[in-house]
Amino acid sequence: MTKVQLSYGIRDGVPVPITAITPESNGNKCDCVCPACGKALQARTLGKKRAAHFAHKAASNCQPETIQHQTAKFLLQWRIKSAITDGKPLLLNWCCESCAKNFSMDITKSVESVEVEKGIASIRPDVVTIDHEGNPVALIEVVFENHPSDEKVQFAKERQFNLIEFNIKADPETALKTLETSEVLSPSRVRPCHSEYCALNDFSDTQKPPTKDSPLSSDPHCLREGETEETSSGWLPVVVGVLFAGCVLRAGWKSLSKWLR
């Protein structure tokens, strides 16, 4: 069994990143439990060979992916709960891969509470936000390998709940840090999409969105990392073209007036 290293523990319902552990709260004194199994953790911040981390005090069967998945759910719940308590909005910004339009919403809007793994009818979303009447508002899924099941997608569609996905597979540890600290959260997908384009093409159903490798159209696309609006659009060649044309006209006019004299 390999020793799993954790970057977050939970203390009194609050996520504790390993970076918050002081020499006084190191080791067993960290008073933290595992986000996946709830068993006691040890903080190990003084080791020379390995970066600071939490580890289970006793032997455990927790797998890294399970821990990251559980930690992501916990962080989402904690962020939404904190925003509700503070009476502040928690903004989600995203770009729809199908229509390349940007959207924004406040995940706390009309929300009174938030729960993890709450059974609703036959489904059990990772995180669900609930309004003052006890009805679900949005279903949130932390995506690793599996996208939400067709059943979940259909369920959300029929009842007009938002279905929000956070894909953490590419770089789980960075994704967790972002969920913990970023002011604005960026889900990988939100359904339904309210753009005219997506309504016409019915991308609100179970159909998978086009990917980077097989885009729906080569035209509009969500900006990738390191890409900016300016580099992807064509106003620069237009400016250069106009300047060049100006120079040519000026030179032409000069020689014409010389010739006329």
Identity of the amino acid at 48:
K
CA distance 256 to 117: 81
In the complex, the smallest distance separating the C-beta of residue 216 from Zn ion, rounded to whole angstroms, is 10
CA distance 250 to 254: 6
Q: Total residues at the site for Zn ion (CB under 5 A)? A: 11
Which residue number, 136 or 192, has a Cβ lying nearer to Zn ion? Answer: 192
Options 36, 156, 179, 185; binder of Zn ion; rule CB under 5 A:
36
Kindly write out the interface string for residues 69-98 of this chain, putting x where it contacts Zn ion by CB under 5 A and - elsewhere. ---------------------------x-x
User: CB under 5 A: which stretch of 28-36, 79-87, 117-125, 247-255 binds Zn ion?
Assistant: 28-36
Q: Is 222 exposed, middle or buried (0-12, 13-18, 19+ CB in 10 A)?
A: middle
Q: Which of 35, 28, 30 is nearest to 58 (CA)?
A: 28
Indicate whether 198 belongs to the interface with Zn ion (CB under 5 A): yes
Are 143 and 167 in contact by the 8 Å Cβ rule? The answer is yes
Indicate whether 4 belongs to the interface with Zn ion (CB under 5 A): no
Options 10, 16, 30, 34; binder of Zn ion; rule CB under 5 A:
34
Which residue number, 78 or 111, has a Cβ lying nearer to Zn ion? Answer: 78
Indicate whether 62 belongs to the interface with Zn ion (CB under 5 A): yes
Indicate whether 37 belongs to the interface with Zn ion (CB under 5 A): yes
Indicate whether 195 belongs to the interface with Zn ion (CB under 5 A): yes
User: CB under 5 A: which stretch of 8-16, 26-34, 132-140, 220-228 binds Zn ion?
Assistant: 26-34
Alpha helix (H) residue ranges in 118-234: 150-159, 172-181, 196-201, 229-232
Which residue number, 34 or 140, has a Cβ lying nearer to Zn ion? Answer: 34
CA distance 160 to 7: 36
Q: Which residues contact 230 (CB under 8 A, 6 or more apart)?
A: 236
Q: Which of 133, 92, 131, 89 is nearest to 114 (CA)?
A: 131
Chain positions 95 to 154 lying near Zn ion, rule: CB under 5 A, are: 96, 98-99
Which residue number, 85 or 160, has a Cβ lying nearer to Zn ion? Answer: 160
CA distance 162 to 93: 14
Write out the residues near Zn ion by the rule CB under 5 A: 34, 36-37, 60, 62, 96, 98-99, 193, 195, 198
